[in-house]
Structure 1
């Protein structure tokens, strides 16, 4: 049972992670691999809306995806997008990235290797990681314009889709921690953290939602 206060604090973190960008046509859409096939769904929908002529799906496997996506997150995303009507020929797969920083760096290298000009990119992530992904992309590829995007879902809808409320709150807390510690380590641009967001984060940590925290000395974007 999740206490009402914890739900309220999780909602604060959820809202803060939303960048509020309005999707617009970009050179490419980059879907960041994870356990959540909803990222592939959102990327496919943006393609069908005419927001990008090309898609890059990026991601290897992690401890949360190796069983569900044994061929790699990017490969499973590609298959999902094709099921949703995206032509296979407009999808590039980057199969090696294991964190957000590598997602950006390896996708950039793949596009440059193919001599594909990029001036802007739709950065498609899980809803609770929009801000983290954006801050990382701005740090590692500052020459282009980044537009954040994710599935338009409320926190309650997302929890229902995952089926594990505690895991979702743990992931929200982990995403918030990275926003606070990674800029000092050079992994992302600095983001202003409002006092009420920092306080919500601290309360959730105190309530034990800490399984997705990383040691600062070992942190990677």
Structure 2
């Protein structure tokens, strides 16, 4: 399997796209991708909810990009897209998807239906996490309708995107065993695509300390 074909397999696996329905709130998960905030604004203007929560502190990919934090940057973008400030809440502490969900659940404990907006390639992981961490809410997970070709950004290029998808697949396996999310069944072709990309060196986002490279040698991610 070629690298591009393998990357597309992971892209399609991670991108689930629920159809948004009228909900109590729209929750935008902070990240390096400001297009998520614009998509939240679009759903708001379509009348699917009358308030938005942006959640996220700053991580390795966003500490320099958004000095005031992801949630504040997303709020500013939504305001630029015409959302009134009174309709926006900010959760500025979360540093991972589990915290995004749990901290927002604490803010709106009576919510029954929630639209989660994230990057296309983070949708499946978000869905599996909310099922575990906020099981009594009806969660609809969606994202901007970007393609694999248009998803890379100047500060997060195609290699970074592929590494992110590889790392997130590893996390889904690990986090389900740790009880952070529900189990996700991974088809054989997706496993094969993952193995192809790891052997090709797309390992920057892996949590595992050691793996076998394409020569059969055991190496750490930093050695590739």
TM-score by length of 2: 0.89
Q: Which runs of 4+ in 1 moved over 2 A?
A: 159-163
Contact in 1 for aligned 2:17/2:123 (Cα 8 Å)? no
Counterparts of 1:42 and 1:178, CA distance in 2: 26
Cα 1:162–1:21 shift into 2, 3 Å:
farther
> Residue deviations 1:12-54, cap 9 Å, x none?
1110112131111111111001111011111111111111111
Counterparts of 2:2 and 2:153, CA distance in 1: 19
In structure 2, list runs of 5 or more residues that go unmatched: 210-224
Larger radius of gyration: 2
Structure having the larger proportion of residues in helix: 1
> Residue deviations 1:161-220, cap 9 Å, x none?
66611111111111111122210010100111111001101110111101011138xxxx
- Residue in 1 that maps onto 2:220: none
In structure 1, list runs of 5 or more residues that go unmatched: 217-221
Structural mapping, 1:104-143, within 5 Å: 104-112=101-109, 117-143=110-136
Give 3-state SS (helix, strand or coil) of 1:155's partner. coil
Contact in 1 for aligned 2:56/2:70 (Cα 8 Å)? yes
Structural mapping, 1:2-81, within 5 Å: 5-81=2-78
Q: Please tell me the root mean square deviation across aligned C-alpha atoms, in Å.
A: 1.5
Aligned positions, number: 209
Corresponding position: 1:86 with 2:86: no
Contact in 1 for aligned 2:17/2:143 (Cα 8 Å)? no
